[in-house]
Amino acid sequence: MTVIIQIGAGTVSQTYDPRRTAVLLVDPYNDFLSEGGKIWPHLEPMAEAVGLLDHLRSVIASAREASVRVVFVPHRRWEAGDYETWDHPNPTQRTIMERHSFARGTWGGEFHGDFQPQPGDVVVQEHWAQSGFANTDLNFQLKQHGITHVVLVGLLANTCIESTGRYAMELGYHVTLVRDATAAFLPEMMHAAHELNGPTYAHAITTTDELTAAFEGAHA
């Protein structure tokens, strides 16, 4: 399947083979995506502005229809004692330690109801910081499934999406970002993720409509 997408000032043709492509769904937790979630109030303005939930639903449904593998890339679910004895937890980890984001065994630490693993999906080990690759089995799972192209969706655009995408590029994967299937806390963070930082490592920066059209073309 081929989709024409805009990268910087040039237009290029990107080809995605469903057998070699995976959608990486990063951190689809209730605390991030659901009313009543601990982080949702901070994320809601940007999520609503880009139509995040509907676009995530579209990407995942279209991927499954086209036999593109869906890979869940979850953050560490907080447990009592996490980070407390560490020499230097990062600012995000300190915040998690204080508010218990994604707590294991709680509703907030469960995947959003619309984003549940299905047969054929892969759920990789939880990442402790921002990269879905560091200290997890993500690279191993992708290699074992013959994946060469990764499409990143989920949260947050300027942290876990960016860190996972950069790491993927360093490991030799083709990386696609989807502008409206992610969100961040501020417009400036979205701008940095897609206009400033994304073009330094991503091979393609596209939209949900363009991506799903490509997936649907492959299925047809």
Whole-angstrom distance, CA of residue 110 vs CA of residue 108: 6
CATH number at 19-219 = 3.40.50.850
Whole-angstrom distance, CA of residue 102 vs CA of residue 106: 8
Handedness of CA 217, 193, 182, 144 (dihedral sign): positive
Alpha-carbon distances, residue 219 vs 17, 61, 198 (angstroms): 11, 12, 28
Alpha-carbon distances, residue 133 vs 69, 209, 220 (angstroms): 17, 27, 33
Residue of 83, 90, 197, 75 whose CA lies nearest to 135:
75
Mean pLDDT over the full length of the chain: 93
pLDDT in tens, 145-198: 999 999 999 999 999 999 999 999 999 999 999 999 999 999 999 999 999 999
| pLDDT at residue 14 in the model | 74
Whole-angstrom distance, CA of residue 83 vs CA of residue 166: 25
Across 42-58, average pLDDT: 98
Q: What's the pTM?
A: 0.94
Work out the pLDDT band at 51, boundaries 50, 70, 90.
very high
Whole-angstrom distance, CA of residue 143 vs CA of residue 167: 14
CA 148 to chain centre: 16
Alpha-carbon distances, residue 144 vs 87, 137, 138 (angstroms): 35, 10, 10
The residue assigned the tokens 């649907």 is 216
| pLDDT at residue 131 in the model | 98
Whole-angstrom distance, CA of residue 46 vs CA of residue 80: 31
For residue 161, the cross-strand partners are none
| pLDDT at residue 9 in the model | 37
Within 10 angstroms of residue 179's Cβ, the number of other Cβ atoms is 19
Residue 139 has pLDDT above 80, yes or no: yes
CA 114 to chain centre: 15
Q: Where are the alpha helices (DSSP H) in 18-112?
A: 30-33, 40-50, 52-65, 91-99
Portion of the chain with pLDDT greater than 90, in percent: 89
